[in-house]
Each structure stands twice: as structure tokens, then as C-alpha cells.
Amino acid sequence: MEVQTLILGAGAAGLMCAAHAGPGVLVVDHAKSPGEKIRISGGGRCNFTNMGVEPERFLSANPHFAKSALHRYTQWDFLGLVQAHGIAWHEKTLGQLFCDGKATQIVDMLRAEMAGAELWLGTEVGEVTHDGTRFRVMLTRAGQRVEVKAKSLVLATGGLSIPKMGATGLAYRIAQQFGHALVPTRPGLVPFTFTGTPLDRLKALAGVATPARVTCGGTAFDEALLFTHRGLSGPAILQISSYWAEGDSVTLDLDPGGQLLNALKAARKAEGRKAPLTHLAQHLPQRLAAAILPEDAPPRLADCGDAVLNRIVEGCRDWTMTPAGTEGYRTAEVTLGGIDTDGLSSKTMESRHVPGLYAIGEAVDVTGWLGGYNFQWAWSSGWAAGQAI
Ligand code: FDA
């Protein structure tokens, strides 16, 4: 069988590419349904893009690589598509755009957009070769082996995150086979795990969520933090995890607005008869407030000197700790690293080594922040390749 374009992977990037790659497109995937990560994303409502998309919010060994695709197919282009399909949406927070209804609306929209393309599900990908003009790919579908010849081959099988959902390193393997280098991969947007005394401290607060500034190296995020039985999670932690390397410490500031000291001083004046815990619990979750309050704090706020109030505030800042690790690919939302962008055109996503070979989406060494950035990269890179094919 012969096609113009064979796309490996019917995820976000592969479906978007199929919608723009012209006639003669076959998309194959070993899953039973297309766009499974879209379906489960954003708690079932898909955080499909972010109003604040800019290249600085993506990590890559080459920070300039993502610029071209992101500028040519923007968050507004994708939002326009969502609106043209009559899908209701809302901004949740920090520019994050979600469906009002189900995430499957986005999958249905992409299916409708790529109506001219053929989609083979439950299909295993075997040997891939290039005979100088065309790619030859062995596929197994319903027990039948089929050789497909294609002028263009698009690697869109994503990264290693959530192997239970069918994530594999197929795109990496094929890219390497054709001479591409890989940037070492690691889990991103992932909870931290701790051991020993730090874990005891965190575990005691499991279930508590609070706003925090989380810092690692020179990078900081102000978002919600969640204490867990294994360590730390929540958006602020997922964000910083992409900037964390083994052995690095992270610092939590549980008074991210820096208002607590003034608030405590004002309360001491106005409501001095109250217990310090009563007031502290207006700023922090009760269990966290109780853990931070010094044991020797006087029972009435009026009797707390500046030294005690300073110790309370320090208790909010005194959280520098070194994670033992992360929860790994099992729960990571994305994979950092991947196909080295040096081997790809940033305009077309085409290989510099083998004409007709393309790599898009998460398989490429471009990883976005939490909040719709990774889908936008899938849409933009998928679109860029589709235009070029
Ligand atoms: P994607 O993983 O979507 O697709 C790859 C496809 O290739 C899959 O269909 C897979 O079955 C197929 N495949 C893999 N190996 C294969 C093989 N060997 N043979 C055949 N087929 C193969 N991002 C965001 O912006 N907003 C959000 O709300 C979320 N939420 C979210 C929740 C969860 C739980 C996860 C795990 C991830 C997110 N993400 C997200 C990240 C987002 O899902 C991710 O970045 C994109 O889906 C990447 O799109 P791709 O098309 O590159 O890969």
C-alpha cells in the first residue's frame, strides 16, 4: 500500500498534522482510540491552550527552536478553531483555557478536521526503512502484516509519560535510526518524593493545600502546593519539577505575598485577646498553622512580642529541602528532553538528515509549563509540519 504521508501516533500533534498535511494521509496508532491524553487531560475538560503562551515558557536545549511554530500557529489560532466548532470554553486561572464540557469535544473536533485522512487504530509499528525516495514501514493490523510506503513519515508518538496509557519510545528509536541525536529524557511536571525526616514533616501535613512560592535555582513559581504521603505535589511543585535535577534543593515560601508579618502585627493591635493560632489559621490552613506556630508561643496574640511574630513568619519560609526523587514517568504529565532540535528545521519540523522525515509534539526536545502549553506545542508543531508536507 502506498500513501503520501504516514503519521505515527494519533495523539494531539499527529491529529493536528493530519488535518493540515493535504491528501493521501494515513495515521496509525497502537491504541484503541485516538487522542487518549486529550480525553483525560485537565480533569476531563482539557486545558487546551494558554493565553500567555510565549517561547520563554518552554524548556529545550535550544530555547529559540519553538519560536517559529508558536508564532505561526498561535493560541488564538487554536481558540478560533475551538470557537468555529461551537465548543464552549472558559479561562480558569493564569490564562488556562478549558472546555466547559468534555475534553472529547476536542478529539471530535480534530477528527472532523482530519476527515480526509485515514486512521488505523490498534496497529503495531514494526521495521522502518528508507529506500532513497520513500519510507517503508511494516505495520501489523488485526493480525495482518502490511507494508506501507510513504513519501513523508511523521514521528508523533509522544514521550515516555504514563506507560500505562501506551507511551513508548518509538519516535526516539526511529529518529536515532536515521541519525538523530537525543537529549536525555526525564519526567517533567511530576510530584516530588522524600525520605527520612523531611518526609515525616511533609507526611504529617498530607492533604493540606496552600498557596506558595517554590524556588529551585533561579526559577520560582507562585501557585498552589499540596502536601502528600510521599512528599509534595500541586501545580507549584509540578512546575518547578521541570527545572529540578537530582540533588538540587527546593525552597518553599508559604507566605508568598509577604503580608503575614504586617497582618500579625495589625491583629495583635486590634484583636490581641485572640489566640495566635486563631489568627494564623485565617492565613494558612489550620493544620499547617498549628505545625508552624512555635510551641512556646504565648496563648494570647497581645503577649506575642516581635520576636515570636518573626519566628512564625520564618516558620513559613524555613522549608528548604532536597527531594529524594520524583514519582517518575508513572505520573509525569510530560517528558523533558527527546529528539534533539539541532537535527530539525524549526520552521517545518523536517529532519535535516533525511528529507521527508518529520518529528512533532512531545517526542521533540520542547516541553512547556503546566497550563495548556504542552498542547499548544503539539498544535503548533503539528500544524507547521502539516503545512510543509
Ligand atoms: P501524545 O502522547 O498525545 O500522543 C502519542 C500517540 O502515539 C498516542 O496516541 C500513543 O498511543 C501513540 N503511540 C505511542 N507509542 C506508539 C507505538 N509504539 N506505536 C503506535 N502508536 C504509539 N497538556 C496540556 O497542555 N494541557 C493539559 O490539560 C494536559 N493534561 C495532561 C494530563 C495528563 C494526565 C497527562 C499525562 C498529560 C497532560 N498534558 C496536558 C500533556 C499533553 O497530554 C501532552 O503534552 C500531549 O498529549 C503531547 O501530544 P503528542 O501528540 O506529542 O503525544
Q: Could you write out the three-class secondary structure of 7-76? A: EECCCHHHHHHHHHCCCCEEEECCCCCCCHHHHHHHHHCCEEEECCCCHHHEECCCCCCCHHHHHHCCHH
Residue nearest atom 3 of ligand 1, based on CA coordinates = 11
Convert the pLDDT of each residue in 5-16 to its tens digit.
999 999 999 999
Nearest-atom number in ligand 1 for the CA of 168 is 15
Q: How far is the CA of 187 from the centre of ligand 1 (A)?
A: 13
Q: Which residue has the cell 516530588?
A: 192
Nearest-atom number in ligand 1 for the CA of 16 is 51
Residue nearest atom 43 of ligand 1, based on CA coordinates = 37
Convert the pLDDT of each residue in 326-375 to its tens digit.
999 999 999 999 999 999 999 999 999 999 999 999 999 999 999 999 99
DSSP state of 301: G
Q: Are 331 and 237 within 8 A, CB to CB?
A: no
- CB-based burial label for 291 (10 Å; 0-12, 13-18, 19+): middle
Residue nearest atom 31 of ligand 1, based on CA coordinates = 41
Convert the pLDDT of each residue in 69-78 to its tens digit.
999 999 999 9
Residues 6 or more apart whose Cβ sits within 8 Å of residue 303: none
**Residue among 57, 58, 54, 101 nearest 82 (CA):** 101
Predicted confidence at residue 318, as pLDDT, reads 80
Q: What is the average pLDDT score of the chain?
A: 97
57 lines ligand 1 (CB under 6 A): no
29 lines ligand 1 (CB under 6 A): yes
Phi, psi (rounded to 5 degrees) for 340: -60, 130
Predicted confidence at residue 212, as pLDDT, reads 98
Convert the pLDDT of each residue in 193-232 to its tens digit.
999 999 999 999 999 999 999 999 999 999 999 999 999 9
Q: How far is the CA of 252 from the centre of ligand 1 (A)?
A: 30
**Residue among 78, 77, 86, 124 nearest 105 (CA):** 86
Predicted confidence at residue 80, as pLDDT, reads 98
Nearest-atom number in ligand 1 for the CA of 162 is 36
Residue type present at position 10 = A
**Residue among 385, 372, 382 nearest 334 (CA):** 372
Q: How far is the CA of 37 from the centre of ligand 1 (A)?
A: 5
Convert the pLDDT of each residue in 148-193 to its tens digit.
999 999 999 999 999 999 999 999 999 999 999 999 999 999 999 9
**Rounded Cα–Cα distance for residues 380 and 368 (Å):** 12
DSSP state of 304: -
Nearest-atom number in ligand 1 for the CA of 169 is 15
Name the pLDDT band for 262 (thresholds 50, 70, 90).
very high
Predicted confidence at residue 22, as pLDDT, reads 94
Residue nearest atom 14 of ligand 1, based on CA coordinates = 157
**Rounded Cα–Cα distance for residues 175 and 155 (Å):** 8
Predicted confidence at residue 284, as pLDDT, reads 97
Predicted confidence at residue 106, as pLDDT, reads 98
